[in-house]
């Protein structure tokens, strides 16, 4: 998949294709606002994708045993 | 003014020692709601019959010489994403209005009532909590009690406005990116977002589970500490609730700030807003003799990651309704959820990985300082309907930019109190007081000291 954080990408095309892939239909009258919001997400995602993260920066959840909950 | 409403601690003390009855206190609150809420629009439901019955049970306990609880007779209301038995949990939506009524109370509603408090109603919010302004198209905007032409902030706007107008002395809200702290600041009251995982969210409508917190609003540090203590405790019904024991903060409030390293956040937190905001923050820091300055690690990226995770989790959560009844969403939130539903997985996972890096960096920072001060919002409440706001010569989305200072703190799950700065301007402004995870005690100790020094105070009631 083309990375939509790349400025040259046609974001509306990406939105339409991705929405179709998950069975979502976006009404034409909603598309300008959706594209505008998505463009802002793409703008802020760019530096985040470029930020160098160590390989051990991982999002796995932590499981706590020992009956602290029950 | 219809019947003066005093604070949580005063009301509870007077009911416990029999100087007034819980039924009288509750009747006063219900009278004030009837008299003033039509102009504020904080409430979406009032449960008068239930409230008077609960209050009567509290009075019975007092008459029998039994302990009615630390919050005896204190009225409260909850953001309408909390389950209330017999009410449909709206979460600010029209879609969920078709659901059956809740069959039991949310954990925190039950905890407050078991402490003697009296639920009087449910409160307005942005649809599904996706917003900072409570300009709800289905139920109308909640109006700021200090200027009815302006927003109350959001998404817990009803929760802040109800306390600011003295309709109830305490309330509950939720905070994913600032939804307790923003309305607390704009309405001039205290709002506490505890550590992620501290308070049970069981029986609440989630929004973005990675960041969803719940917490209280009140008009003083002692009051919000008393409510917070009653809310604490593990709950197996919420998988994110950390299972920590109750760690009371009320006894800690008198300990002062001696030995605490308090720092003012600078860099990112010293720009991107209107000058009066930074002046208010500096004033509070100066009164506490704060000389340390800290830069948080990559706060702009933290905000970016929070935006991506929030949009993605919210979009996925509501995907079934976006597919089948998108037109029933609030026009304010529909494009937010739709755009979130198509966020690429690579962005989402990168944002979650960045969160781990960021939390480690903050862990190191909190070895150098104990408490961090920062502004809460970049400007005071703006007029209802205003779409854009000028900041540093740029036009920014007026509501969306309200979270610029709150998002980098909740992104790491830190405990944060939004506190009103006394006499900061014509409209209320707040500061954030933050500490390392699980150190709500430090946050509230600093707040108590600042309140005692006259720096923090709720904006005077106008009703």
pLDDT at B189 > cutoff 90: yes
- Residue B120: which H helix or E strand, with range? strand B118-123
Would you say B341 and B316 are in contact if contact means Cβ atoms under 8 Å apart? yes
Q: What is the pLDDT of residue B424?
A: 60
For chain B, the structural domain boundaries read: 8-452
Which tokens hold the place of B267?
């860099």
At B284 the three-state DSSP class reads helix
Closest CA to B123 of B49, B188, B47: B47
The 10 Å Cβ neighbour count of residue B221 is 27
Would you say B136 and B92 are in contact if contact means Cβ atoms under 8 Å apart? yes
Is A48 near chain B, with CB under 8 Å? yes
Percent of chain B with pLDDT over 90: 97
Would you say B195 and B118 are in contact if contact means Cβ atoms under 8 Å apart? no
Contact A58 B308 (CB under 8 A): no
At B44 the three-state DSSP class reads strand
Contact B326 A59 (CB under 8 A): no
- A64 found inside a domain: no
DSSP annotation of B102:
B
d(CA B28, CA B46): 14
Range of the domain at A42: 11-50
Is B342 near chain A, with CB under 8 Å? yes
Query: What is the residue-averaged pLDDT of chain B?
Result: 97
Would you say B139 and B44 are in contact if contact means Cβ atoms under 8 Å apart? yes
Q: Is B79 a catalytic residue?
A: yes
Report the residue from A24, A34, A69 with minimal CB separation from B236.
A69
Cβ–Cβ pairs < 8 A, chains A and B: 102
Preceding amide of B155 cis, omega within 30:
yes
Q: Is B193 a catalytic residue?
A: no
Record the pTM. Answer: 0.96
Which tokens hold the place of B101?
């009524």
Closest chain B CA to residue A70: B236
Q: Tell me: domain B8-452, CATH 3.20.20.70, correct? A: no
DSSP annotation of B246:
P
pLDDT at B335 > cutoff 60: yes
Is B325 near chain A, with CB under 8 Å? no
Q: What is the pLDDT of residue B299?
A: 98
Sort out which chain B residues have CB atoms less than 8 A from A25's CB and list them: 323, 326
- A59 found inside a domain: no
How many contiguous H segments (helices) and E segments (strands) does chain B have? 14, 17
- Residue B39: which H helix or E strand, with range? helix B22-40
The verdict on ipTM greater than 0.85 is: yes
- pLDDT tens string, chain A, 70 residues long: the values are 445 554 456 899 999 999 999 999 999 999 999 999 999 999 999 999 999 999 999 987 776 554 444 3
Beta strands in B365-441 (DSSP E): 371-375, 388-391, 394-397, 416-420, 430-435
Length of chain A: 70
The count of C-alpha atoms lying within 13 angstroms of the C-alpha of B262, restricted to the half-sphere facing its C-beta, is 27
Beta strands in B199-298 (DSSP E): 213-218, 262-265, 292-294
Closest chain A CA to residue B299: A48
- A42 found inside a domain: yes
d(CA B378, CA B410): 16
Q: Can you tell me the mean pLDDT for B233-259?
A: 95
Contact B354 A18 (CB under 8 A): no
Closest CA to B293 of B384, B382, B373, B216: B373
Q: What is the pLDDT of residue A68?
A: 42
Contact B319 A70 (CB under 8 A): no
Is A23 near chain B, with CB under 8 Å? yes
Question: Any bridge partners for residue B431, and if so which?
Answer: B375, B419
Rg (CA), chain A: 18
Which tokens hold the place of B168?
């109830």
Preceding amide of B340 cis, omega within 30:
no
Q: What is the pLDDT of residue A1?
A: 41
Q: What is the pLDDT of residue B5?
A: 60
Would you say B314 and B207 are in contact if contact means Cβ atoms under 8 Å apart? yes
Closest chain B CA to residue A15: B342
Per residue in B207-242, pLDDT (tens digit) is 999 999 999 999 999 999 999 999 999 999 999 999
Min Cα separation A30/chain B (Å) = 7
Q: Which residue among B155, B210, B220, B459 is the active-site one?
A: B155
Q: Can you tell me the mean pLDDT for B277-302?
A: 96
Which tokens hold the place of B452?
């005692």
Is A61 near chain B, with CB under 8 Å? no
Would you say A49 and A3 are in contact if contact means Cβ atoms under 8 Å apart? yes
d(CA B19, CA B104): 32
Q: What is the pLDDT of residue B306?
A: 98
Closest chain A CA to residue B242: A69
Per residue in B14-66, pLDDT (tens digit) is 999 999 999 999 999 999 999 999 999 999 999 999 999 999 999 999 999 99
Q: How many domains does chain A have?
A: 1
Phi, psi of B432 (to 5 degrees): -100, 135
Q: Which long-range contacts (CB under 8 A, 24 or more apart) does B135-142 make?
A: B135/B332, B135/B384, B135/B385, B135/B399, B136/B92, B136/B330, B136/B332, B137/B330, B137/B331, B137/B332, B138/B92, B138/B93, B138/B94, B138/B330, B139/B41, B139/B44, B139/B90, B139/B92, B140/B41, B141/B41, B141/B384, B142/B40, B142/B41, B142/B42
At B462 the three-state DSSP class reads coil
Q: Is B328 a catalytic residue?
A: no
Q: What is the pLDDT of residue A61?
A: 73
- For tokens 């045993």, what's the residue? A65
Min Cα separation A45/chain B (Å) = 7
Is A59 near chain B, with CB under 8 Å? yes
Q: Can you tell me the mean pLDDT for B149-171?
A: 98
Contact B335 A33 (CB under 8 A): yes
Q: What is the pLDDT of residue A70?
A: 33
């Amino acid at each position: 998949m083309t990375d939509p954080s790349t400025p040259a990408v046609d974001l509306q095309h990406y939105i339409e294709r991705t929405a179709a892939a998950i069975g979502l239909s976006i009404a034409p009258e909603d598309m300008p606002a959706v594209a505008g919001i998505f463009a802002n997400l793409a703008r802020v995602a760019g530096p985040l994708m470029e930020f160098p993260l160590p390989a051990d920066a991982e999002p796995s959840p932590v499981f706590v045993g020992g009956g602290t909950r029950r | 003014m219809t019947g003066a409403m005093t604070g949580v601690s005063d009301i509870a003390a007077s009911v416990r020692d029999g100087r007034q009855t819980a039924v009288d206190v509750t009747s006063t609150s219900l009278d004030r709601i009837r008299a003033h809420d039509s102009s504020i629009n904080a409430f979406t439901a009032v449960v008068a019959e239930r409230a008077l019955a609960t209050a009567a049970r509290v009075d019975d306990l007092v008459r029998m010489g039994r302990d009615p609880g630390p919050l005896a007779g204190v009225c409260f209301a909850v953001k309408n994403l909390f389950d209330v038995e017999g009410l449909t949990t709206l979460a600010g939506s029209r879609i969920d209005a078709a659901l059956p009524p809740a069959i039991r109370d949310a954990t925190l509603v039950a905890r407050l009532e078991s402490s003697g408090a009296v639920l009087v109603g449910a409160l307005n919010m942005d649809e599904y909590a996706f917003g900072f302004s409570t300009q709800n198209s289905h139920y109308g905007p909640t109006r700021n009690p200090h200027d009815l032409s302006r927003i109350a902030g959001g998404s817990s706007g009803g929760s802040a406005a109800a306390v600011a107008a003295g309709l109830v002395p305490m309330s509950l809200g939720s905070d994913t990116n600032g939804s307790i702290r923003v309305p607390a600041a704009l309405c001039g009251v205290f709002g506490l977002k505890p550590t992620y995982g501290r308070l049970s969210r069981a029986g609440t409508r989630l929004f973005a589970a990675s960041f969803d917190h719940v917490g209280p609003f009140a008009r003083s540090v002692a009051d919000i500490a008393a409510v917070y203590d009653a809310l604490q405790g593990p709950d197996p019904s919420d998988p994110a609730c950390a299972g920590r024991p109750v760690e009371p903060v009320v006894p800690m409030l008198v300990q002062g700030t001696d030995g605490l390293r308090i720092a003012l956040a600078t860099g990112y937190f010293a720009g991107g807003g209107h000058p009066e905001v930074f002046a208010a923050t500096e004033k509070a820091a100066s009164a506490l003799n704060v000389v340390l300055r800290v830069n948080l690690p990559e706060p702009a990226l933290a905000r970016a990651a929070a935006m991506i995770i929030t949009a993605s989790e919210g979009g996925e959560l509501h995907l079934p309704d976006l597919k089948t009844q998108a037109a029933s969403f609030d026009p304010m939130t529909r494009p937010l959820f739709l755009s979130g539903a198509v966020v690429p997985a690579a962005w989402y996972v990168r944002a979650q990985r960045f969160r781990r890096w960021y939390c480690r960096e903050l862990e190191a920072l909190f070895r150098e300082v104990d408490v961090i001060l920062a502004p809460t919002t970049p400007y005071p409440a703006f007029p209802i309907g205003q779409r854009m706001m000028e900041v540093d010569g740029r036009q920014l989305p007026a509501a969306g930019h309200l979270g610029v200072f709150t998002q980098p703190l909740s992104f790491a799950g830190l405990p944060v109190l939004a506190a009103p700065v006394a006499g900061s301007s014509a409209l209320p402004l707040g500061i954030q007081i933050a500490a390392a995870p699980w150190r709500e005690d430090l946050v509230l100790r600093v707040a108590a000291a600042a309140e005692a020094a006259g720096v923090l105070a709720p904006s005077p009631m106008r009703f």
